[in-house]
Structure 1
């Protein structure tokens, strides 16, 4: 049985042993500072060829409920890296057909439906599917993967850990180790999260598994202020799966950190032309602002404004971040307060704290900022934000937090890292620049 305690020594022996004295927490970040929103990890990311094969099988077996469920799962997995919402619609149709063909005892369709709900950020719904799948088949791994993803996003951290541990016990594969790394990172155990991802990469079978593990290793290196190894992992991910947009995003931000600004701007421009996702647009706009390209930045921010107006369904935390920093902070507070009522996650707490700060409500922001940091400390962006809030309130720990942000990752944001240095410099000279 895989357990969670002797991690480092076990890795040296070629086996990751995860011990559960208190679940995955016995081993051991950063929410929005790194990923976001901690994107749900698919159980077995397939290549485009695997998706095509699933389509072919479903076409050949139109009355086979399992074939349609497997097509739905393949489509959701493929959408993870390509960010193609049309694939989620295809998955929805395939899973619905599977459930029509076999409405009872359809474990595969329950798992696929949970994965689809996670991909659409409908985490309560996903949790329900995960619970049904694990109750139906407590010794099958896939339901625990759905449940771990949903519980983490809902802020139910002990439940997420328990589901991840069960997944590791049942199936110590790439999918389990990538989830273990998320759990460890959430609890501030970054070094062990890296070890878990290295094991995930060793075990990877499909191109999608290799790409996902590699670009997550890039993310963790990036979050530790190590853009050179991060860049190498992102290149490895793209070699395995050329349409991994998050790896392309990582190459852009790594180039910026390494001083190759023109290359970074070109990479961002190419990426948002192909995939205008909020996180990509926002970081591109902020690099443009930091490098004096005001007009081009305004165009990217206008696109984000249009996405806010067109948005439906669950709140995209990146759009809330855009509103807080470049749009209407009061509207960001309203939307994030509603999201907080739905899920008390550290991810939501950090964004709400920042929106409250930007709206001039620092006293209300502070408890949320502290809640966000509680599971395992803040990432660089989280430490910066809390430092700014504490600075605005005149609290003595502000400088320590700002120094922590720059120590963790001096490249975490071109504009906000510069602002952290300004605040620290002003503290030494007695003058405080405005945020």
Structure 2
């Protein structure tokens, strides 16, 4: 595989390596007869583990800046696929060594450093690397992947779309189509986002690309209230890549939605034992609470409280969500206000609005909720939250927002869907 092709592959997937469905990008046709309905077609895996091969190459060529940059890229990619943040430290060391050997005109290390910054949620830094790499090589694709991811998370939606379009023009690969899909989804163009993901799946080369595209198709089906179809995509993803933890998370979600509560609880328990990520712990706890297991839920909530105490660096929005719903809403407001000052992302606006509501500050919450909705906040959860805030303020649009949430995905949350129905009377 050429270095240029490796860069394109390494920039694939999504930007947030330690979360599922938040800030990930995708495209493709999902329905009867589409690629997702076809038999699983697994490409032959590479002859050796890519991270192990990169380590070996760096060891054999210890003075080669490119070898160290490729090790950094491989380590970031491994973190993305395994949700193992420990790989990011190895990536950091390798990329620093690459830049020490070649501080100027080191495109590969610029890309790797941008991917690493995005993975760490250091989006302003990632944007700098994206701008630097696209300025250095405006006709190479990988820099636009880094830039698109960063601009999106910073809330610069027009700039994100422009970078995504340039990426797609230069290299219409799975990496480009997955980003195009997320860009479309962000703007509320869900049907087109599905088409883009289907195309991503159709042209995927590696098992990782196939799995990522399939589980993102599952996420889109889930958001549209179709758990049976979502489940098929998640099973497809796990068939080609058994350690796709986001697909495993999706199967736990869909089992709960389809009334298979014991199976869902088992799947969540197995998942958090392997990968105790905040999103997984939080949804597991909420299922335990809604299914009559409050004592068991306390274990997950205690783990989340510990993660809040130990957290350093950029804010994890899932931990802020935990604080708003199960911890200290005032602290969630403080942290999210700081994050909002760093980036005017619709994702941050939605979480800040909800934290303000939970803290009893609905009038302040309203403009943030409306900003998120205006920027493409089309999920059932977003509509529910806006509806609850408007209901608290006795605004006439509350009922329609709550009905929209239940219409879009009646399974988005057992507890919150029941609350929406209660408010609707």
**Helix, strand or coil at the partner of 2:192:** helix
Residues 282-291 or 49-58, more deviating: 49-58
Aligned match of 2:286: 286
How far apart are residue 52 of structure 1 and its match?
2.0
Match of 1:38 among 15, 19, 23: 23
State the alpha-carbon separation in 1 of the partners of residues 24 and 180 from structure 2: 14
Give 1:36-435 correspondences, 5 Å limit.
36-39=21-24, 49-425=49-425
- Determine the structure 1 residue equivalent to 2:13: none
C-alpha spacing 1:40/1:304, structure 2 compared with 1 (3 Å): farther
Could you tell me the TM-score, scaled by structure 2's length? 0.89
> Do 1:380 and 1:404's aligned partners in 2 also have CA atoms closer than 8 Å?
yes
Find the aligned partners of 1:188 and 1:230 in 2 and give their Cα distance. Answer: 19
3-state SS in 2 of match to 1:84: coil
Q: 1:81 to 1:160 in 2, by over 3 A?
A: same
Structure 2: distance between partners of 1:140 and 1:114: 15
What is the alpha-carbon distance in structure 1 between the residues aligned to residue 235 and residue 89 of structure 2?
30
Residues in 1 aligned to 2:79 and 2:167: alpha-carbon distance in whole angstroms: 23
Distance 1:334 1:387 in 2: 23
Distance in 2 separating the partners of 1:63 and 1:40: 36
Tell me the secondary structure at the aligned position of residue 209 of structure 2.
Answer: helix
Aligned residue for 1:146, secondary structure, equals helix
TM-score with structure 1 setting the length: 0.87
Count of matched residue pairs: 388
Gaps of at least 5 residues in structure 2 are 1-18, 27-44
Structure-2 change in CA distance of 1:200 and 1:185 (3 Å): same
Q: Deviation digits for residues 382-415 of structure 1, max 9, x if unmatched? A: 0000000000000111110001001000000111
**Contact 2:406-2:417 within 8 A present in 1 as well:** yes
Q: Distance in 2 between matches of 1:399 and 1:36?
A: 27
Which consecutive residues of structure 1, in runs of 5 or more, have no partner in the other structure? 1-33, 426-435
Distance 1:52 1:196 in 2: 32
RMSD: 1.4
1:322 partner SS: helix
Which residue of the partner structure matches residue 6 of structure 1? none
- Aligned partners of 1:280 and 1:81: how far apart in 2? 16
Between the aligned partners of 1:225 and 1:142, the Cα distance in structure 2 is 34
Counterpart CA distance in 2 for 1:308 and 1:37 is: 19
Comparing 76-85 and 57-66, the one that deviates more? 57-66
For residue 183 of structure 1, give the secondary structure of its aligned residue in structure 2: helix
Instruction: Return the offset for 1:75.
Output: 1.0
User: What's the CA shift string for 1:147-183, capped at 9, x where partnerless?
Assistant: 0000000000000000000000100000000000010
CA contact (8 A) 1:69 1:95 kept: yes
Is the Cα contact below 8 Å between 2:178 and 2:196 reproduced in 1? yes
